[in-house]
Structure 1
Amino acid sequence: MLGIVTAGIAPGLALLSYFYLKDQYGSEPFSIVFKTFIAGALLVFPIMFIQYVLDAENVLQGRLFEPYLAIGFLEEFFKWFILYYTVFQHVSFDEPYDGIVYGASVSLGFASVENIFYLFANGLEYAIGRALLPVSSHALFGVIMGYYMGKGKFSEGSSHKWLILSLLVPFLLHGSYNYILLTLEDWLVLMIPFMIFLWYLGLKKVKKARKLSDQHFENNLIIEKTFISGK
């Protein structure tokens, strides 16, 4: 049992540590990151129940509805909801890159519990494959969601466009991942290039978020110097 729990949670913690440690302007409070991770973990239970009901009642089933709506949209919406209503307005969310950390945290909390359940049901031999596909894909969906959340919070003008993209883009990517996995017979042929693209996109968003944080702190420094000299 301990081996399954360890194998289930280790990939998520490793990926979260990677994105957490890349925050160059001071790491986020561990307590807030931990709470976000736990919130994501707890999301598994209501989502599993809703998906069970949808399946039992034959609602949103089919080649497109199930991968995109019953799984992709449902999971990404709940993660987005947690991020927006618990972290977006929090004082600790004080630079664009923070969205990456919190987005990865809530997604990896969800992915870790989901992974533990899967390994309990199917065996420890699936641990490596689960780490490479579902866990890492959830992490990257969260990174992309967090990137657009950070853009929304710190961009001038209306944040609505970025907040919509913070849900829309991960939903479409998650749905496409599910579509490849659930509906294609030779799914691995397309999954490999899809995961390469997903990693490329996710790491590109990380790089952009760090540049936005650089600009954010430079602007704050200019404002602070102007204020001091004005006195």
Structure 2
Amino acid sequence: MSVLTVLTAAIAPGVALLAYFYLKDRYDTEPISLVIKLFLFGVLIVFPIMVLQRALVHGLGEDPFVFSFLISSLPEEFFKWFLVYFITFKHASFDEPYDGIVYAVAVSLGFATLENVFYAFLNGSSFSSLMIRAFLPVSGHAMFGVMMGYHLGKAKFTPEHTRKHLLLSLALPVFWHGVFDYTLLLSKAYWIWFMVPLMSFLWLRSLRKVNRANAKSPLRVATREDQVKI
């Protein structure tokens, strides 16, 4: 494949998934400039995370469990969570629970997209292998972003449970990301039998959270009231 074809195939899944979750916002879409900014920040954090992970590998070794949960999952999800929390949690545009999902997915897919580009060029990937990565790591990062953003939205709009949901907004993505990586590492020859059910579960779980977040939007009530007045 040509360089342009590889680059397009590596970038397209992340952009398509971001567009999908952006358009799932039923009541008040977020400023596209802010979403793009978060996506680009997600791209940029790939570099410090790579350096940190290399240091952790030297210090902790490459045991599959340690690698999956402490070297891969924890740094990646923490950096993403840090960005989403400090850039958007008190932002005026974060005015409904679903917004947290949009912002967390944007950062997650920025990270996943550059990671996918590196993989494509460093491993000489075929188009079919890039499509497999679209189904696995790229969409996996999107699912982890949905979990993170859902609980950030709950943390902001249920003040009595803020601490609980802030903890869940980091702990759940770290846990499921670790499970994802650990499953891949332990089932290299038979990964499809484990990953298809896991990804199906994560997608169904994420879509339920998308619907719940939209259902809790204060703008939903306002829209209904406006329709009644008309």
TM-score, normalising length from structure 2?
Answer: 0.91
Identify the residue that residue 72 of structure 1 maps to in structure 2: 73
Match of 2:135 among 122, 132, 152: 132
Mapped contact 2:119–2:125 kept (Cα < 8 A) = no
Of the structure 1 ranges 29-38 and 154-163, higher mean CA displacement relative to structure 2 is found in 154-163
Tell me the alpha carbon deviations over residues 115-166 of structure 1, each in whole angstroms, 9 at most, x when there is no partner.
0000001124121111110000001100111000000001141400001000
Q: Does 1:95 align with 2:99?
A: no
User: Which residue identity does 2:12 align to in structure 1?
Assistant: A
Count of residue pairs brought into register by the alignment: 221
Identify the residue that residue 26 of structure 1 maps to in structure 2: 28
Mapped contact 1:64–1:179 kept (Cα < 8 A) = yes
Tell me the alpha carbon deviations over residues 146-192 of structure 1, each in whole angstroms, 9 at most, x when there is no partner.
00000000114140000100001111100000000112342222111
The 1:204/1:221 distance shift into structure 2, 3 A limit, reads closer
Percent identity, aligned pairs only, is: 49
Q: Does 1:42 align with 2:60?
A: no
Match of 1:203 among 207, 215, 222: 207
Mapped contact 2:150–2:213 kept (Cα < 8 A) = yes
Identify the residue that residue 169 of structure 1 maps to in structure 2: 172
Mapped contact 1:60–1:69 kept (Cα < 8 A) = no
SS at match of 1:64: helix
Q: Distance in 2 between matches of 1:141 and 1:193?
A: 16
Match of 1:3 among 5, 12, 28: 5
Structure 1: tracts of 5 or more residues without a match: 223-231
TM-score, normalising length from structure 1?
Answer: 0.90
1:37 Cα shift?
0.2
1:74 Cα shift?
1.0
Q: Distance in 2 between matches of 1:219 and 1:155?
A: 17
Match of 1:193 among 183, 193, 197: 197
Q: Distance in 1 between matches of 2:144 and 2:220?
A: 29
Identify the residue that residue 227 of structure 2 maps to in structure 1: none
Of the structure 1 ranges 19-28 and 165-174, higher mean CA displacement relative to structure 2 is found in 19-28
Root-mean-square deviation (Å): 1.9
Q: Distance in 2 between matches of 1:158 and 1:194?
A: 29
Identify the residue that residue 180 of structure 1 maps to in structure 2: 183
Mapped contact 2:150–2:209 kept (Cα < 8 A) = yes
User: Which residue identity does 1:192 align to in structure 2?
Assistant: V
Identify the residue that residue 64 of structure 2 maps to in structure 1: 63
Mapped contact 2:27–2:220 kept (Cα < 8 A) = no
Q: Distance in 1 between matches of 2:61 and 2:212?
A: 36
1:52 Cα shift?
1.4
The ranges of structure 1 where at least 4 consecutive aligned residues each deviate by more than 4 angstroms after the TM superposition are 218-222
Q: Distance in 1 between matches of 2:221 and 2:192?
A: 46
SS at match of 2:97: coil
SS at match of 2:60: coil
Identify the residue that residue 14 of structure 1 maps to in structure 2: 16
1:53 Cα shift?
1.7
User: Which residue identity does 1:49 align to in structure 2?
Assistant: V
